[in-house]
């Protein structure tokens, strides 16, 4: 049995950031991951440090459009029909959280936790030698038609009430910022203060290497089970070996629910599957991530490739790829860039999603021997540094960087 002060279960961007934070506080940390840490969802995302993502996924507008969104093949959201029954409890909670009062409350909480996300990432990137992977050209939402632009304007005005800095662009202003995007009928919203990563995978490797350099052992095993004992939290691994720790941080992304249950908490975590296709090219066509607002996907310039990334597919963690979703991304990208051809590769990842779009960053109900750090949905990359600060405060008793009760397990 290996003994440690803090065990971190799951080494995506959340677990890696938590591990580094605790190592920096002089604590002994062990990281457990069944895969290469940082190689899953935290690798394949759109790379945006999305301070502008202040609105929850569930909103009154989404309820109105849900039937057409879920059952139209060309829609940005899909549902795996075979999974509808198992998704039902999550969907019911999601519908409740989409009602006007709840949605506004959730937006206010999300806006608070997003504040300074870019500054926090600049600080973290400089600690791990990753500053050159952070770009500060901002991000853009593109509204192809006049009617989509009008709906977008309403959405952006709502975000502005939550403190967001955004500029609306007409088609020629958009074309000046992004010369490879032809004149469209609608317009765009520009978020000038936001950053993005030109290679999230490389940033994950830097995070991992820094943790290792600071003395963090990486246990490449699948955790099977966690249990409270008189001497601490015991994690049983695939090969039946165990790790005993004073604190266990559950940061297994979309796979965290079962461990929370074993620690005594029933958390409504489910999965929004997301995809990317990549086109290898020397000059990736865009100067910053551009999101097709009605298509529900980003086109993110990354080193040596254009990554077309997004869409939501409700329906569990099976590795099976839905070609409808991939085609949605390919068709969407070729509407902007007709000569793209076929993608060089395709990828599927799992957003760990809570119906209220807020992560769970919290001590377990039974105490801070188990700490939850999962459920970051669409903004896990953005929120990793602040999550690490909050986890540190829960473990050490330090003052948290923001009020944290809104992200607590007590809300369920």
User: Of 187 and 253, which CB lies nearer to ligand FAD in the complex structure?
Assistant: 253
Close Cβ partners of 300 (under 8 Å, ≥ 6 residues apart): 46, 47, 48, 196, 286, 289, 306, 307, 308, 309
Chain centroid offset of residue 186 CA: 28
**Residue 68: is it exposed, middle or buried by C-beta count within 10 angstroms (0-12/13-18/19+)?**
exposed
State the pairing for strand pair 29-32/290-292.
Answer: unpaired
Segment 200 to 259, residues that bind ligand FAD, using CB under 6 A? 222-223, 251-255
11, 152, 186, 343: which one binds ligand FAD (CB under 6 A): 11
Q: What gap in Å lies between CA 142 and CA 171, rounded to an integer?
A: 9
- Interface pattern 375-394 for ligand FAD (x via CB under 6 A): -xxxxxxx------------
Q: Judge contact between 233 and 369, C-beta under 8 A.
A: yes
* Least distance (Å) between residue 406 CB and ligand FAD: 18
Return the residue of 8, 18, 19, 42 that touches ligand FAD, per CB under 6 A.
Answer: 42
CA distance 37 to 53: 26
**By CB under 6 A, residue 295 contacts ligand FAD:** no
Residues with Cβ within 8 Å of 121's Cβ and at least 6 positions away in sequence, in order, are 49, 134, 195, 382, 384, 385
For ligand FAD, give the closer residue by CB, 116 or 222. 222
Structure tokens of 158?
């709502």
- In this structure, the strands spanning 139-143 and 290-292 are parallel
> Nearest Cα to 51, choosing from 132, 104, 97, 118?
118
Does the protein bind ligand FAD through residue 332 (CB under 6 A)?
no
Residue 171 C-beta: closest distance to ligand FAD, Å:
25
Query: Smaller CB distance to ligand FAD: residue 181 or 388?
Result: 388
Q: Which stretch binds ligand FAD (CB under 6 A): 47-55, 95-103, 140-148, 165-173?
A: 47-55
Q: Does 21 bind ligand FAD (CB under 6 A)?
A: no
Nearest distance in Å: CB 170, ligand FAD: 26
Closest distance to ligand FAD from the beta carbon of 337 (Å): 19
Q: Which residues pair with 229 in a beta bridge?
A: 232
Nearer to ligand FAD, 138 or 171 (CB): 138
**Chain centre to alpha carbon of residue 38:** 13
Q: How far is the CB of 346 from ligand FAD (least distance, A)?
A: 12
Q: State the residues that interact with ligand FAD by CB under 6 A.
A: 10-15, 32-35, 37, 40-42, 45-48, 50, 222-223, 251-255, 274, 276, 309-310, 349, 351-352, 374, 376-382
């Amino acid at each position: 049995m290996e003994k440690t002060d803090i065990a971190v279960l799951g080494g995506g961007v959340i677990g890696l950031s938590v591990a580094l934070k605790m190592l920096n506080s002089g604590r002994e940390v062990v990281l457990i991951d069944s895969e290469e840490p940082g190689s899953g969802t935290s690798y394949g995302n759109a790379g945006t440090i999305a301070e502008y993502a202040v609105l929850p996924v569930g909103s009154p507008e989404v309820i109105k459009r849900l039937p057409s969104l879920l059952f139209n093949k060309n829609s940005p959201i899909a549902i795996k029909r075979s999974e509808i029954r198992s998704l039902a409890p999550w969907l019911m909670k999601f519908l409740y959280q989409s009602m006007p009062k709840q949605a506004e409350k959730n937006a206010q909480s999300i806006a608070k936790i997003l504040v300074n996300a870019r500054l926090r990432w600049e600080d973290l990137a400089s600690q791990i030698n990753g500053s050159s992977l952070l770009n500060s050209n901002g991000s853009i939402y593109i509204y192809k038609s006049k009617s989509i632009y009008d709906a977008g304007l309403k959405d952006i005005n709502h975000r502005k009430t939550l403190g967001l800095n955004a500029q609306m662009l007409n088609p020629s202003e958009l074309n000046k910022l992004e010369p490879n995007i032809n004149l469209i009928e609608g317009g765009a919203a520009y978020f000038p203060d936001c950053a993005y990563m030109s290679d999230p995978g490389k940033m994950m490797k830097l995070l991992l290497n820094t943790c290792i350099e600071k003395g963090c052992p990486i246990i490449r095993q699948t955790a099977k089970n966690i249990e409270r004992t008189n001497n601490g939290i015991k994690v049983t691994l695939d090969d039946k070996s165990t790790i005993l720790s004073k604190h266990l941080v559950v940061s297994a992304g979309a796979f965290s629910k079962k461990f929370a249950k074993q620690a005594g908490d029933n958390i409504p975590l489910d999965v929004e599957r997301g995809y990317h296709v990549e086109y290898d090219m020397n000059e990736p066509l865009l100067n910053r991530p551009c999101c097709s607002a009605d298509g529900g996907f980003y086109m993110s310039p990354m080193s040596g490739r254009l990554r077309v990334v997004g869409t939501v597919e409700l329906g569990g963690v099976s590795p099976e790829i839905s070609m409808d979703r991939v085609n949605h991304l390919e068709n969407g990208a070729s509407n902007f860039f007709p000569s793209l051809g076929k993608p060089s590769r395709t990828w599927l990842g799992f957003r760990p999603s809570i119906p209220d779009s807020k992560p769970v960053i919290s001590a377990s109900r039974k105490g801070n021997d188990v700490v939850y750090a999962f459920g970051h949905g669409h903004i896990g990359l953005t929120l990793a540094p602040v999550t690490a600060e909050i986890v540190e405060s829960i473990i050490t008793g330090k003052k948290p960087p923001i009020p944290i009760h809104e992200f607590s397990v007590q809300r369920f």
